[in-house]
Each structure stands twice: as C-alpha cells, then as structure tokens.
Structure 1
Amino acid sequence: MAKVGNTSEVSGKVAANSPPRAPRSKQSRIDSELKKLRELTKDAIPDEKRKAIMPLLPNLAFMKVKLDDARADLLYEDIFTEYDNGGGQSGLREHPGFSAYNKLFTTFSRSVKQLADMMPNGTAAADALIDFINETRC
C-alpha cells in the first residue's frame, strides 16, 4: 500500500503536463545581465575607475539583451531583401535589421573593450568578460 504523501508515481506525469514557462521579461533579463557585469567588475577594477564605469554597465546589459533578441529575430532572415520604390525602382538592399544589429554590436564591442582595458590581463574577471562577449556572438 502506497503512502498518502508519496508522489513519485505522479511526478513524471505532472512534469510532462506542466504548463510552459512564461518568457522572462526584458527588464528581468537586463537586470540579470547587469548583475553579471557588476560581479565581473567588483574586484577586478579599482574603485576609482569602477565609479567611472558604473553608468556604462546598465547600457551594456541593455545592449546584450537587445542583441540577443535581434539575433533571434534575424536568424531566418536573408541578409539582403528586395525593395520596390515604385516608379520602376527595384532591386536588392541590405536588410534593415542587419544594419541595426551591426551598429549595435559595434557599440557593444567598443563598450566591452573599454571595460576590458580597465582590467588586468589574464585575470579571471577578464576571461569572464570574454565569455560574456562570446555569449552575444552565439
């Protein structure tokens, strides 16, 4: 006879039928990235320099989330798209989303480089920052 509180037989069924998780809000994702950045810079950058870069961190977190979303949106898009301006003008042009993505990634990369330049080379924090950049490229 099974115990009343024994749910091991039910848990597999319940897990398979559980509702899908709601996607995290953009703000919670930004907050999570900001927390990572704060931890990365906490002991790796001297306090006087850290005060100067603190306003940069929320922007980096914001750009990371936007880049992740843009990459997902552009995954199945072509780099070039057809256009027709009317009046017989038509052809191919760069997809506007790719142009915006490239501009944002360039700004993101420059900002991360500024941050990395403040860290001693070969430290665990500098390596973790490289991992942070690589997450965005995937």
Structure 2
Amino acid sequence: MTATDTPAPAEERPRPLRQLAGYTLVGGTGVALDLAAFALLHNVLGWHEQLANGVGTTLGITNNFVLNAVFTFDRRDRLLRRFVRFYAVGMCGIALTFGLLWLFAGRLGTDPNLVKAASLPLVLAVQFLLNRKWSFA
C-alpha cells in the first residue's frame, strides 16, 4: 500500500451531512434565482412554462456550480470538466421537472407555479447525490 492508497483521516474526509447542509443553502440561492426568473418569464412576460423553466433552471445551475465549487465541495480544479458534469446533472433536474410539469400542469391542470415549487425537494436530493459522487468526486 502506498501513501496515495492510504485513506484520509476521518477529520479530513468530506462530511456528507455538512456537505448536504452547504449544498442545500447554496441551492436556496439557486432556487430563489430559478423561481424569480420563472415567475418573471412565465407570469410577467408570458413565456411558455417549459421555456421559462429551462432558462430559470440554467441560471440556477450556473449560480450553484460556482458557489458549490468554492464553498460546499472546495474543488477549484478541472473546472470545465466539473461544470460540464454539474450541468449534465442539472439537465437531469430539468428533465425531471419537465416531466412533472407535463403531467401535473399539462395533463392534470395543476398550477405550474405549484408544480415547479413542489418538484424542488425531489430534484435537490437527486442532484446532491449525483453531484457528490460524480461532479465533485
């Protein structure tokens, strides 16, 4: 076993619960940006809900990548690769939200604003796991 094979001491390993808390706080800023953009684009400017969702989510993803790279995961190396992965995970979130909007707003007539807000906890959980294990590993 070489020095590189030796696991880091427990105090140096990332703490998943602390990372989840930081990820959630950072996510709150992205959610606020996402929801504000969605409300502006959909409710004020009259954009289609799916287009407004895509733009709002993209703004939130970019905001969250920068803040998570600096504060949550403390990773500033390979930023382009990490951003591409983070964005891909974000696209999974967009796809999940698109599906929920399609079903609940488009087919069942639920208010798109309610569907968008209600989708956030599920999307957060899925994205945290994927980002922790893939984007910032």
Given the two structures, how large is their TM-score scaled by the length of structure 2?
0.37
Given the two structures, how large is their TM-score scaled by the length of structure 1?
0.36
Higher Rg of the two aligned structures: 1
